[in-house]
Amino acid sequence: MGCLDDGLVLGLGFSATTTLEKRGNNNNEKPKMMNKPCFEPSLSLGLSGETFYGCNKKTTDIKKVCEESGGADLFRQASPHSAVSSFSSGRVKRERDLSSEEIEAERVSSRVSDEDEDATNTRKKLRLTKEQSALLEESFKQHSTLNPKQKQALARQLNLRPRQVEVWFQNRRARTKLKQTEVDCEFLKKCCETLTDENRRLQKELQELKALKLAQPFYMHMPAATLTMCPSCERIGGVGDGASKNNPFSIASKPHFYNPFTNPSAAC
């Protein structure tokens, strides 16, 4: 943007980024989301990526085969052990994440799921209740990440598995970041518009100045020593004039430049 052929350059010289402080040694150190954009110099502006979310889907047959039906509908009743949907695609891998308590909960839930399993073999969608969402939100406001103890406590309180609480927090952080990115994007768009306007205005101003310069007579471009005086002023001549020969300071003592705009020769 904004590179004028006359050497005037305009550009975005800052950036807006959302910074997420890294957590400390343990999980009690929470990353703090900086809700204000952090402006740094020299970041290029890219607005082409308008789609942020949920536009690309691909089908993985293997995953489909792996999926099993879950008892997720039961989850709405917020029963501690029915409130689990087990989707087997990642269960083996995930077991390393689980404490013995969680594994037990998982097993119980699996039993429920197995009992519930029907021929459709489709994954059921879990929706958190309003109360669960509210409590999670409240907890998220206090800290956007959880240590294992907090996770356990919250899970117990909500009748959810710790894994579900963990996933909720992960998704919640992602949404927060996405929202902030959208805000930053809007802000940068406005900055871009402002700078484009400014660029246009300066270009126009430059053109006017150029036109003004061209409109001046050619001797305005000459060095001062070779300037000729207004033709109607006979006392002071140009170079080689008789008067100036005797008085080298005559020109400097009373310069009388001709300016067709402000000083027409008739006024002399």
Partner DNA sequence: GATGTCAACCTGTGGT
Partner DNA sequence: ACCACAGGTTGACATC
The contact set with DNA (CB under 7 A) reads: 20, 22-25, 27, 31, 53-60, 63-64, 66-67, 72-73, 75, 85-87, 89-91, 93-94, 96-97, 122-128, 133, 145-146, 148, 163-164, 166-175, 177
Minimal distance in Å, beta carbon 192 to DNA?
Answer: 22
Minimal distance in Å, beta carbon 132 to DNA?
Answer: 8
Q: Which residues of 132-143 are buried (b: 16+ CB within 10 A; e: fewer)?
A: beebbeebbeeb
Q: Which is nearer to DNA, 146 or 236 (CB)?
A: 146
Residue type, 199: N
Q: Which is nearer to DNA, 14 or 87 (CB)?
A: 87
Both tokens of 34, joined, read 């900086």
Q: Which is nearer to DNA, 53 or 218 (CB)?
A: 53
Nearest residue to 20 (alpha-carbon basis) of 148, 138, 173: 173
- Whether 165 and 156 have beta carbons less than 8 Å apart is answered as no
DSSP conformation letters of 56-102: -----HHHHHH-----GGGGGGT-TTTS----GGGHHHHGGG--HHH
Residue type, 19: T
Minimal distance in Å, beta carbon 189 to DNA?
Answer: 19
- Whether 101 and 148 have beta carbons less than 8 Å apart is answered as no
Nearest residue to 145 (alpha-carbon basis) of 29, 25, 19: 29
Minimal distance in Å, beta carbon 33 to DNA?
Answer: 8
Minimal distance in Å, beta carbon 117 to DNA?
Answer: 13
- Residue 73 CB: number of other CB atoms within 10 A? 14
Q: Which is nearer to DNA, 128 or 154 (CB)?
A: 128
The dihedral built from the CA positions of residue 52, 55, 58 and 63, taken in this order, carries a sign that is: positive
Q: Which is nearer to DNA, 16 or 128 (CB)?
A: 128
Both tokens of 12, joined, read 């975005």
Minimal distance in Å, beta carbon 144 to DNA?
Answer: 7
Minimal distance in Å, beta carbon 156 to DNA?
Answer: 15
